[in-house]
Amino acid sequence: KRPAGAPDKSLARKVTKVGVVGAGLMASQMALLFARRLEVPVVLTDLDRARLDKGVGYVHAEADKLLAKGRVSQDQANRLKALVTGSLTKDAFADADFVIEAVFEDMAVKKQVFAEVEAVVSAECVLATNTSSLSLTEMGSGLARPERLVGFHFFNPVAVMPLLEVIRGASTDDATLATAFAVGRSLKKSSVLVKDAPAFVVNRLLTCFMGEVVAAVDEGTPLETAEHALDGLGLPMTPFALLQLVGPAVGLHVAETLHEAFPDRFGVSENMAKLVESGKPGVYRPDFTLDPE
Ligand code: CAA
């Protein structure tokens, strides 16, 4: 069944090679999924050699895990490893049909990335962003062809979470949108079309939960009590484990974006902001002591 708002699938372009910008955890998980489900070459790029090697290494290790679990054959595991390669430059995207970015959640950085990508790809190549909160329309505003930009938002862990938010910017055309839905289908995700609004839909809901749990702890609710908050709704992870999975910096960024857009509805925990600023890894804890000013 065609998802609500999805254009006719006959408009979708064929995808024979994928580019992924950034080689962090989310990007590496995406590279593995594209290679496994689309069975096409996937190039990961990153400016940092160590991060790139780590990203490609992640894909190889996951291919071995899939083999050990009997989910893929030895040949398929070898093929997965061969399909995903790393490059320090975006020239490797010259023959890609679908390039997705998963770099830091910063509008200026993402615009710069797309300007560089657009300089090397074909006119037909779809540009996708895994942004979890930023405006598609603004992101596309600097592009020569903004109609080929689409939001393609995965959830962590990418291999497991079934949903994909597909976002249409003001200029996104039907062929681009149809291609995004076709790729989502090949990835075996359940895609929904959402409006280009701050933090789209899922992160608005999640930020309500997470923001209130963090606020409750800030106000003195014992950690053990707060840790069971989402259990009460039957959700599979405790709030602080989820915050850790998403990354406190990402969680904070989404909360800030929503606070800016809807100041009367979303707050930002000062403790959480200080924790992220301090660069200290680890789970948010109410007993986290901040250095005196
Ligand atoms: N990468 C790949 N696979 C993973 C994984 C990971 N990081 N974590 C778990 N899995 C797989 C396991 O390998 C296992 O697969 P098999 O059944 O094939 O062996 C399966 O998931 C279940 O894992 P476990 O049995 O170890 O543990 P679990 O049953 O507790 O499930 C979980 C783990 C899937 C993470 C589950 O706790 C869960 O669904 N948590 C909620 C996650 C969530 O809410 N994500 C959304 C975050 S919001 C976001 O991402 C948006 C944003 O923009 C900020």
Atom 21, ligand 1: which residue's CA is nearest? 160
Calpha distance 229→43 (Å, rounded): 40
Q: Which residue's structure tokens are 């989820």?
A: 242
**Which of 265, 241, 245 has its CA nearest to residue 255?**
265
Per the CB < 8 A criterion, the answer to whether 151 and 165 are in contact is yes
ipTM of the complex: 0.96
Calpha distance 78→80 (Å, rounded): 5
What pLDDT was estimated at residue 292?
33
**Which of 154, 148, 112, 114 has its CA nearest to residue 132?**
154
What pLDDT was estimated at residue 285?
57
Q: Is the pLDDT at 51 greater than 50, yes or no?
A: yes
Confidence of residue 290 (pLDDT cuts 50, 70, 90): very low
Q: Where are the alpha helices (DSSP H) in the chain?
A: 25-38, 49-68, 74-83, 107-120, 136-140, 174-186, 202-218, 223-227, 239-246, 248-261, 270-278
Mean pLDDT on 72-81? 97
Give the β-pairing of 42-45 and 126-129.
Answer: unpaired
Mean pLDDT on 92-96? 97
Q: Is the pLDDT at 284 greater than 70, yes or no?
A: no
Largest CA distance in the chain: 61
The structural domains of the chain, ordered by start, are: 9-194 (3.40.50.720), 203-277 (1.10.1040)
pTM above 0.90, yes or no: yes
- Give the number of other Cβ atoms within 10 Å of residue 260's Cβ: 12
Q: Is 161 in the pocket of ligand 1 (CB under 6 A)?
A: yes
What pLDDT was estimated at residue 272?
80
Per the CB < 8 A criterion, the answer to whether 171 and 146 are in contact is yes
Q: Separation of 62 CA from ligand 1 center, angstroms?
A: 14
Q: Is the pLDDT at 291 greater than 90, yes or no?
A: no
For the segment 97-149, what is each residue's pLDDT rounded down to a tens digit? 999 999 999 999 999 999 999 999 999 999 999 999 999 999 999 999 999 99
Least confident of 74-78, 146-150, 275-279: 275-279
Q: Is 206 in the pocket of ligand 1 (CB under 6 A)?
A: yes
Per the CB < 8 A criterion, the answer to whether 275 and 262 are in contact is no
For the segment 181-207, what is each residue's pLDDT rounded down to a tens digit? 999 999 999 999 999 999 999 999 999
Q: Is 72 in the pocket of ligand 1 (CB under 6 A)?
A: no
**Average pLDDT value for the chain:** 91
Q: Is 258 in the pocket of ligand 1 (CB under 6 A)?
A: no
What pLDDT was estimated at residue 275?
75
Mean pLDDT on 247-264? 91
Higher pLDDT, 275 or 90: 90
The encoded tokens of residue 218 equal 């800030």
Q: Separation of 64 CA from ligand 1 center, angstroms?
A: 18
Is 259 a catalytic site residue? no
